[in-house]
Amino acid sequence: MHPLNRLAPRAALCLALLASALGAHAQTPLQQGPGAWSANQTWASDSTHGGALSGYYYWPATPPTLDGKRALILVLHGCGQTAGGDVINGSGDAGYNWKAMADSYGAVVLAPNATGNLYSAHCWDWAATNRSRSHGHNAVLLDLVKRFVSNPQYAIDPRQVYVTGLSSGGAKAMVLACTAPEIFAGVGISAGPAPGVGSSQISSVPSGFSASTAAGNCTAMAGAAAGSFATQVASVIWGTSDFVVAQAYGPLDAAAMRQVYGGGFTQGASVSLPGSGSNLPYLDAAGKVRTSQITVSGLGHAWPAGSGGQNANYVNATRVNYPAFLMDFWFTNNLRVAQAPAPLMSACSASVSGSNVTVSGAASFDGGAIASYRVLLNGPSPIDDAAAGSGGGFSKTYAGRPDGTYSASVTASASNGQVSAACNIAPFQVGSGVAPPTYTCTTSSASNYAHVQAGRAHASFGYALANGSNQNMGLYNIFLVSTLAQTAAGYYVLGACP
């Protein structure tokens, strides 16, 4: 990629304003977006570099998966790229591959173009020495975030705002995370030089420049907002074939963020990722994952888009799907949203009177109300009733069931979309009937994404639910692995066969 750019800072986005926006959103009904990239927008003028900040946004039609509010993802292209040509590359999103993740998590994605055409290569001003929030790209980007967070139609949660980018965009993402840590709950840095080095120092780390140097620069950028580093998380990724930005910046950036976050850290076990990636997590003293560093074998200087992205102009579709990893990393480890436990089924039962089957159940949810119960009745005349009741408990009769052996399960959905584990009801008889033949149980272990694709589970509100039992397997993605046992035709439960 072309030499990276020069930095810039500032657009006021204070915590008080965000807190008031959060309160307003709590009262605003969630609106469904068009589920398509917008036309090119013009958002604001850049008084430092000239021109106007333009770009695109994606507003999903799907509901959000965390706390009933949408996340906002700011995605920054690299030098020699543009938002329209590379981050999006058409309405089909064959660029950085963000559309699928926006849909899966119900998140709004922003893809702006760098203003000013720094270095004649459309770079972001990551290396600028003026790091004020009211200067250069800091100003126009923070203003852009403010526009979306403060607009109630998007229902953005100020606690779920993230930033990521490639190369100069990755370096700028780190600058923004350092400059405004109270705004960005998480950052994803792809092949980005550290804050404090110059645009001529991208191919090697300068002598004497260390993670401590970068951490000091980062903390200085935050100023009075440095306390918000206590609840921020960071992911860093780089390729073993990147000979544009020094590979040594990858682990240096991650180590710098750990120093900024403060306290002791424990290195977790390295995990292999689909697409020749190896992820090394670090946990803080409370056992929370705070940083992730991914080395991708054979990846050059490019955004790792995974299958579905473009495979040209510094975007690689043959390696790790970084958008999928980032969304899982951010949503799983967000320290600013109190992630209430899923609702809990406390009881369920079935009773038979003639040909009528009455199913009852009760559940509780610490984070709010039970919005609905779902009854799955398996047997000669199956039923899938997603509106069996609501509140603390329910009882519903299903009349005229044919004779035979039945089983059932009940799940509860909370007001924020979380789904309980299934409460399973043992097989029971209606009429005389004939018991079904014995079924040989089989076990499958795979990613939640693979389970859904294979027909063993289905996706709902960003989660994977086992078919039949409707048990919540966790987030619907390629990284979370679950074991399912098929105990009857079309019926799966979490765990191994009995």
> Looking at per-residue confidence, does 479 or 294 come out higher?
294
**Token pair for residue 386?**
């997603």
Grouping H, G, I as helix, E, B as strand and the rest as coil, residue 432 is coil
* Domain residue spans of the chain: 15-333, 340-436, 438-498
Give the pTM: 0.70
**Token pair for residue 62?**
């799907």
Grouping H, G, I as helix, E, B as strand and the rest as coil, residue 193 is coil
pLDDT, residue 497, reads 81
Residues 282-308 have pLDDT tens digits of: 999 999 999 999 999 999 999 999 999
Share of the chain above pLDDT 90, in %: 69
Assign domain 340-436 to a CATH class: mainly beta
What 8-state DSSP symbol labels residue 195?
B
Closest CA to 9 of 182, 160, 129: 129
Cα(184)–Cα(132) distance, rounded to whole angstroms? 16
Query: With the CA atoms of 136, 138, 144 and 145 taken in that order, what torsion angle do they form, in degrees rounded to the nearest 10?
Result: 180
pLDDT at 485 over 80: yes
Mean pLDDT of 112-132: 91
Residues 405-455 have pLDDT tens digits of: 999 999 998 876 677 878 888 889 998 755 555 678 899 998 888 898 888
pLDDT, residue 76, reads 98
Q: Are 303 and 318 in contact (CB under 8 A)?
A: no
316 Cα distance to chain centroid: 20
pLDDT at 367 over 80: no
Cα(259)–Cα(291) distance, rounded to whole angstroms? 11
pLDDT, residue 436, reads 53
Beta partners for 292?
Answer: 235, 281
List active site positions: 167
Residues 376-415 have pLDDT tens digits of: 999 888 999 999 999 999 999 999 999 999 999 999 988 7
Pairing of strands 233-239, 289-296: parallel
Amino acid at 461: F
Query: With the CA atoms of 45, 49, 54 and 57 taken in that order, what torsion angle do they form, in degrees rounded to the nearest 10?
Result: -100
Topology adopted by domain 15-333? Rossmann fold (3.40.50)
Share of the chain above pLDDT 70, in %: 91
